[in-house]
């Protein structure tokens, strides 16, 4: 075999034995997911009016929800007299107030919320609306700062402040919690937080 041919074959064999690491074709790195349309929830305040309001809101929400859950489904259509709200209508009125009053602050209503929702009488749906409406109020409070509290707002055609809108929501809930307690006791249901009390 001639020397040139031997060297060529040797060179080809050697190249075949050498492993050269070539980076594999990779796909471009995935893009991070697009930011959600919903803004991040601001941290809850620990002092000041909003902190105190949220603490009170948590307490009254627990009572309303606990009482709504304690009422048997067949009592949801009960009313103490003709022409007044039934049990379910009172709960849905609380939810409606929670949804609608904070509109005075520019807070949008979720789709499907209207005054007609007081006709909802299914217990599970009523409780779900209550929970969602309390969260709606909570987010409205978190969406404002302490500096916003004295800013003007228009509620039921009158000039007021952001702070007063929150007072109105709280007062409305408490008014109808009292009504719900009277309804429950009239229907033979003891409010859960007072069960066993003397």
Evaluate if pTM is beyond 0.75. yes
Q: Is it the case that residue 5 has pLDDT exceeding 60?
A: no
pLDDT of residue 197: 66
Per residue in 14-29, pLDDT (tens digit) is: 334 333 343 444 444 4
CATH of domain 48-190: 1.20.120.450
Q: Contact at 8 Å (CB) between 141 and 50?
A: yes
For the chain, what is the HEC assignment? Answer: CCHHHHHHHHHHHHHHHCCCCCCCCCCCCCCCCCCCCCCCCCCCCCCHHHHHHHHHHHHHHHHHHHHHHHCCHHHCCCCCCCCCCCHHHHHHHHHHHHHHHHHHHCCCCCCCCCHHHHHCCCHHHHHHHHHHHHHHHHHHHHCCCHHHCCCEEEECCEEEEHHHHHHHHHHHHHHHHHHHHHHHHHCCCCCHHHCCCC
Tens digit of pLDDT for each residue in 24-61? Answer: 444 444 344 444 444 566 788 788 899 999 999 999 99
**Alpha-carbon gap, residue 43 to 170, rounded angstroms:** 21
Return the domain boundaries, the chain: 48-190
Residue-averaged pLDDT of the chain: 83
- Over residues 114-123, the pLDDT tens digits come to 878 889 999 9
């Amino acid at each position: 075999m001639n020397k040139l041919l031997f060297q060529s074959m040797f060179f080809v064999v050697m190249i075949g034995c050498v492993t050269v690491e070539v980076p594999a074709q990779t796909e471009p790195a995935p893009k991070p997911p697009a930011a959600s349309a919903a803004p991040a929830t601001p941290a809850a305040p620990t002092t000041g009016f909003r902190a105190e309001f949220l603490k009170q809101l948590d307490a009254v929400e627990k009572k309303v929800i606990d009482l709504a859950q304690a009422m048997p489904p067949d009592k949801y259509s009960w009313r103490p007299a003709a022409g007044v709200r039934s049990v379910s209508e009172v709960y849905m009125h609380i939810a409606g107030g929670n949804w609608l009053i904070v509109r005075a602050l520019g807070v949008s209503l979720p789709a499907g919320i209207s005054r007609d929702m007081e006709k909802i009488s299914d217990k599970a749906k009523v409780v779900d609306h209550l929970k969602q409406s309390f969260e709606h109020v909570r987010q409205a409070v978190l969406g404002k700062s302490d500096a916003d509290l004295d800013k003007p707002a228009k509620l039921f055609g009158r000039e007021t402040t952001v702070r007063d809108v929150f007072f109105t929501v709280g007062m409305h809930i408490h008014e109808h919690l009292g009504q719900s307690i009277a309804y429950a006791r009239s229907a033979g249901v003891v409010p859960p937080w007072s069960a066993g009390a003397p």
